[in-house]
Amino acid sequence: MTVNHQEEFIHHTVLLDEAVNALDIQGPRANAIFVDGTFGRGGHSRKILSQLGPQGRLISFDKDLYAIANAQQITDARFHIVHDSFATMSDALREQGLAQVDGILMDLGISSPQVDDAERGFSFRNDGPLDMRMDTTRGMSAAEWLAQEDEQKIREVIENYGEERFAFQIAKAIVARRASESISSTRQLAELVAHAVKTREKGKDPATRTFQAIRIFVNKELEDLEIGLTAAYESLAPGGRMVVISFHSLEDRIVKQFFASKAKVVQPDRRLPIRDADLPKPQMRLISRIKPSEEEVSRNPRARSAIMRVAERMAGVA
C-alpha cells in the first residue's frame, strides 16, 4: 500500500501554540515525558519536540497508516510512534517501560487530509469508496456495515452519534436502497440522505450529520475517548496536564464531564467525625477552556467548532 499520495493535501493544526503551551514544557519539564494522542500530520508533535530538552521524550499515537508513514520520517531519538488508538495508552507506555508521563495532548476528530482525500470515504463532497476507517487494516468499512446492519441499529447510530432528527427516514431509505443495489460510494449515500431529509439546516449539507455519525461509529471514536481519558489520567504524573481538543458536542460533553468528575469533591456528612486532613480532595484542577481565535478561524474555517479543555492532576492524590 502506498502512503505518499496524501502529501498534496494540506492540514492546518488547530490551536497549535495554545495546546503545546498548555502542556507547560519549560524548566525541568523540558526533560520530561509527553504523549501526543493523535499524531495526525505531526503539527503538535513537532512543536512539542522543538521545546523538549535533550532528555525529554515524546510518545505519539495514531490509527491512520498515512499518519504513521509521516511520523516515521521523524528521526529524532526522543520520539516514538505507536500505530494504535490512544485508548491503548496504558499498555503501550508499559511496553516502553514507562509508568507515568508528565503531559498528555489528545486532539480528537479527523484531519483535513482524511476529509479531502476522496479515496478515504470520509466526505460527501467528492465521490469515492464508502470506507471511513481511520485504520484501513482493521474493522469493517462503512459500506460493509451498512450492507449488513439492521434498520433499528442504523437509526440509533445516526440519531445518537449524528443528532439527526430524520434518522428514522434515513435508516429506512438505506435499507430499502440496499435491497436493490449496494451502497458503496459516498455520492450514493449523500444523495440518498438528501432525499430522505425533509428540511435542511442553513449552510449545512443534509448528509453532514449522517456521515459524522457513521464515521464515529465505524471508528469507535466515543468508546476510544472514554477509555483514553481514563488511561490518560491513570498515566499522568502528579502536576502533569491533560489537554484535549474536541470538535463536536458529543466529544466535548464527554471531556467536560470527565474533567468535572475528577475536579469535584463529594462532601461527606458533616455529622461524621472526620478530620480536615482526611476530607476527600479533588483529583484534578481545571485550568482553562479555550476556543480558536477569530484570526485562526478565518485562516482555517474547520477550526470553528474546536474547544480545548485543560486540567492538571493534583499532587498527593491517589
Query: Which residue is associated with the grid cell 503538535?
Result: 44
CA angle (95, 137, 47) in 5-degree steps: 55
Quote the pLDDT of residue 111. Answer: 72
The burial of 85, by beta-carbon neighbours within 10 Å (0-12 exposed, 13-18 middle, 19 or more buried), is given as buried
Binding annotation:
42-44, 62, 86, 107, 114
Supply the pTM of this predicted model.
Answer: 0.89
Q: Are strands 284-290 and 236-246 parallel, antiparallel or unpaired?
A: unpaired
Quote the pLDDT of residue 6. Answer: 46
Q: Which of 56, 100, 47, 90 is nearest to 229 (CA)?
A: 90
Query: What gap in Å lies between CA 169 and CA 177, rounded to an integer?
Result: 12
Residues of the chain with pLDDT under 50: 1-7, 9
95-112 burial, b at 16+ Cβ within 10 Å, e below that, comes to eeeeeebbbbbbbbbbbb
Quote the pLDDT of residue 3. Answer: 45
Domains of the chain from N-terminus onward: 5-112+221-313 (3.40.50.150), 136-218 (1.10.150.170)
Q: Which of 311, 163, 303 is nearest to 247 (CA)?
A: 303
Quote the pLDDT of residue 115. Answer: 76
Quote the pLDDT of residue 232. Answer: 98
Q: Which of 111, 109, 131, 135 is nearest to 120 (CA)?
A: 131
Binding annotation for S-adenosyl-L-methionine:
42-44, 62, 86, 107, 114
Quote the pLDDT of residue 28. Answer: 93
Quote the pLDDT of residue 5. Answer: 46
Q: Are strands 101-107 and 307-313 parallel, antiparallel or unpaired?
A: unpaired
